[in-house]
Amino acid sequence: MRIIFCLLSLILPVILPAAENWDIFPDAIKTIAIIAPGKPAVKSQVDEVLKNLQTAGYRVKVMPNARLGESPAKLKKVPWKLRHSDLMQAWFDPQVDAIWCMRGGNYAQELVNRLDYDKLRTRPMIIIGFSNITVLHQALQKNNVGRVFSGPSVTSMLRTDAFSRAWFKKALAGESMPPIQLTALRAGACSGKAAGGHITMLHWAVRDGYAMSTKDRIVFLEANTKGLKINSSILDKLIAAGYFNECQAVVFGEFSGMSKGDQLDMFKKFTAKVQCPVYYGYPYGHGTANCLIDMDRVKSIDNNAVLRQ
């Protein structure tokens, strides 16, 4: 993947050691609330992130139930009422500027039909996460609630590279971002806000009726489901459901657990089944490169496959 570095503002964070690069939130975000809408996380990882954030000078509020069920061995499911309570408490805490999801993991879908979207809509809120958090993001976007950012969660930030951390801060600040060179499978200039996320979660959202419309949007896709057969089947189900019928384009990120060759073969077969432009090479997913996507920010892709936002 070739990232065009118009980067004087990014070069210093890139050359710093990753462990020292925790200057990841803009000045406008003074207090971050941490919730765990899905599974709990590993205790040692949470401790490390909290220490890094504290050292960087951020004010962090860990919601009362966000660390229940954590373990160095087997993680325990936390009842949905407690996870729901944490989300609502964080959303309406007047000191909180952004909500950051602890990790993905199953069970976030248990919240989507239990949220009071009319109440949530009364307060703008940034909510950050990815992977299984896609189910929550979909429901929020469909109901026009909050400001959704898809990208590194709390514990996944430990493996995220310095460039992605610098990108994280700039994206949250709404700054001008460096362009990214994609690779076209079917070229075509386009523009629009973003949609998408983890393909399995998108399939669930479409199946269960809480997926947002992709009309006039650029769809970004990632997955950590292993195997060509499984991922191809899920993409076929999304195609059959008409998920891509009215989108501006599809941009593939990383499909962890698959070889590069299998990924490319799958992307090419997908392209033959849809009508929109298709690109790959956006640094997004479960690897070290995971560039935060502001779903409400307009992106454009030109005829040379350069993405700007």
Domain CATH code at residue 242: 3.50.30.60
Q: Cα(172)–Cα(97) distance, rounded to whole angstroms?
A: 11
Identify whether residues 150 and 188 lie together within a single domain. no
Least Cα distance to 235 among 276, 273, 292 occurs for 273
Identify whether residues 102 and 209 lie together within a single domain. no
pLDDT in tens, 2-42: 444 344 334 333 433 344 579 999 999 999 999 999 989 99
Count: domains in the chain: 2
Q: What is the pLDDT of residue 4?
A: 43
pLDDT in tens, 213-239: 999 999 999 999 778 999 999 999 999
pTM, two decimal places? 0.92
Identify whether residues 40 and 156 lie together within a single domain. yes
Identify whether residues 79 and 134 lie together within a single domain. yes
Which of 173, 198, 224 is the C-terminal boundary of a domain? 173
DSSP readout, 206-226? HHHT-PPP-TT-EEEEEE---
pLDDT in tens, 63-94: 999 999 887 767 788 999 999 999 999 999 99
Q: Cα(139)–Cα(117) distance, rounded to whole angstroms?
A: 9
Q: Which own/partner pairs from 236-245 qualify as long-range (CB within 8 Å, at least 24 positions apart)? A: 236/273, 237/203, 237/206, 238/199, 238/202, 238/203, 238/206, 239/270, 239/273, 239/274, 241/203, 241/206, 241/207, 243/202, 243/206, 243/211, 243/214, 243/219, 244/214, 244/219, 244/274, 244/276, 245/275
Identify whether residues 90 and 43 lie together within a single domain. yes
pLDDT in tens, 176-215: 999 999 999 999 999 999 999 999 999 999 999 999 999 9
Q: Domain of 115?
A: 21-173
Identify whether residues 93 and 186 lie together within a single domain. no
Q: What is the pLDDT of residue 17?
A: 39
